[in-house]
Amino acid sequence: MKGRLKGITIAVIGGDRRAVFVAEELLNEGAQVRLVGHEREVPGGQAVAEIEAGVRGADAVVFPFPGVGEDGRVSTPGEPILLQDKDLASLPEGTPIFTGFARRYLLELADRLRFRLVEVAERDDFAILNSIPSAEGAIQIAMEYLPVTIHSSSAFVLGFGRVGLTLARMLNGLGAVTTVVARDPAQRARAVEMGCRAADFGRLPAIAGEADVIFNTVPALVVTARVLKCTRPDVLIVDLATKPGGTDFEAAARLGRRAMLAPALPGKVAPKTAGRILGQVVADLLVQEKGLSLAVLP
């Protein structure tokens, strides 16, 4: 049901192209929206240049999904803008502040000003939906760089969390011979049930030479120099983990392996979908606070 946020004012601060679609989704839900740091205007919304003016009188604030930098700077399509205590001083205590990941700067600011910080990245409703553009983007990269089709290729997926599971399912659907590498026996069992091969990380060096492409989703060093030495020279490694990723990129360069760090793919390959997902999750959480029933995401 649209119009769930009627009477609510939300400030959307900075961000990439996703922010415009976050604003559009919140407007569609009936909120009044101020978009800060974007030259592009959203029909029905208000474009504001400064954070302080954008948040004045707001009931909630949405920061970019990657969060606020450790130096207090908020990314925008142009020059970053600096977030200071005075910019949010007009907000009442307990105002919800939404972001994907909260780094120390924003955590400390929220603690000083007594805001309620909501990190959506680890919420299942958001992360499962956001895994779809992540997986599609990873496969798009593989299609661009591999000299073979995804169909019948040997594709390894390291990690079987929300992104890994979605990615493995998509690869299976495209006809890849998919191997899931996971520590958890239950996850490996689920991978086998889905029609994938499964292995633990201890076996990775022994089987890495079979891979045409390795997709890593683990935010820890798992594609080590030892593993890389066991891969074929023409292997492609697509690392989806947050920076610095889970690949020894220096060793990959020395060995002549093509390896690329590709985090934040939703905002790059499908900003409209990614923005709508974030906007709907923010709307659901705000509606939940009001005690209203939640709409089902399409």
pLDDT digits (tens, 9 = 90+) for 247-275: 999 999 999 999 999 988 999 999 999 99
Question: pLDDT digits over 191-247, tens only?
Answer: 999 999 999 999 999 999 999 999 999 999 999 999 999 999 999 999 999 889 999
Provide the pLDDT for residue 293.
40
In whole angstroms, give the CA distance from residue 281 to residue 159: 25
Whether the per-residue pLDDT at 27 is higher than 50: the answer is yes
Quick count: other Cβ atoms within 10 Å of Cβ 157? 31
Residue 33 makes CB contacts below 8 A (sequence gap 6+) with 9, 10, 11, 12, 23, 26, 27, 42, 44, 45, 46
Tell me, yes or no, whether 171 and 69 share the same domain.
no
The answer to whether position 112 is within a domain reads yes
Based on the fold, state whether residues 258 and 133 are members of the same structural domain.
yes
Q: Which residues fall within 8 angstroms of residue 263, CB to CB, at 6 or more apart?
A: 239, 240, 241, 242, 243, 245
Is residue 286 within a helix (H) or strand (E), and if so which, with residue range?
Answer: helix 271-290
Give the model's confidence band at 291: pLDDT under 50 very low, under 70 low, under 90 confident, else very high.
low
% of the chain surpassing 70 pLDDT: 96
Range of the domain at 132: 127-263
Note the pLDDT of residue 298. 38
Q: Decide if 32 contacts 23 (C-beta within 8 A).
A: no
**Can you give the pLDDT at residue 87?**
96
66 with 16, same domain: the answer is yes
Domain CATH code at residue 21: 3.40.50.720
Beta bridge partners of 13: 36
Are residues 279 and 163 located together in one domain of the fold? no
Residues 275 and 245 in one domain: no
71 and 42: one domain? yes
Based on the fold, state whether residues 144 and 259 are members of the same structural domain: yes
pTM of the model: 0.87
pLDDT for position 243: 86
List beta partners, residue 116: 96
75 and 194 housed in the same domain: no
| Residue 219 located in a structural domain | yes
Helix H or strand E encompassing 243: none
